[in-house]
Amino acid sequence: MSIERPDKGWNVRRKPIHPGEMLREEFMRPLGLSASGLATKLRVPAARISELVNERRGISPDTALRLERYFGTSAEFWLNLQNTYNLLTARQAKATKIASEVRPRGNAA
């Protein structure tokens, strides 16, 4: 499936980046942090961080606030990553079905 909207600047042919991948590769790996080590620093269950960095869980507002405090980023940064991932994933999974079911307002009969 390929959907392009050059006027909007998005292309869903690429694999969406999970926020856990960003956390793992750009924040934890350079610091040599393990999932359990980060969990200890954030005061959350190790399973939460492990599931997140293994891309089996999304970032909650609570986790975003803790990441904000620890890394000096913003909670919005983390939640925007999650929302973008959710939207791109949904777009890839449902775009064809929705396009066949919903007509744009200007073309409605």
| Percent of the chain surpassing pLDDT 70 | 85
CA 55 to CA 18: how far, in whole Å?
6
Phi, psi of 6 (to 5 degrees): -55, -35
* Structural domains in the chain plus CATH codes: 16-93 (1.10.260.40)
Sequence-ordered alpha helix ranges (H) in the chain: 19-22, 29-31, 35-42, 46-53, 61-71, 75-101
- Rounded CA-CA distance 32/30 in Å is 6
Segment 40-55, tens digit of pLDDT: 999 999 999 999 999 9
Q: What percent of the chain has pLDDT over 90?
A: 79
How many other C-beta atoms lie within 10 A of the C-beta of residue 8? 7
Among 8-12, 50-54, 64-68, which stretch is predicted with the lowest mean pLDDT?
8-12
> Cβ–Cβ contacts within 10 Å for residue 76, how many?
11
Grade residue 2 by pLDDT with cuts at 50, 70 and 90.
very low
What's the burial of 4, exposed, middle or buried (CB within 10 Å: 0-12/13-18/19+)? exposed
Predicted model pTM: 0.80
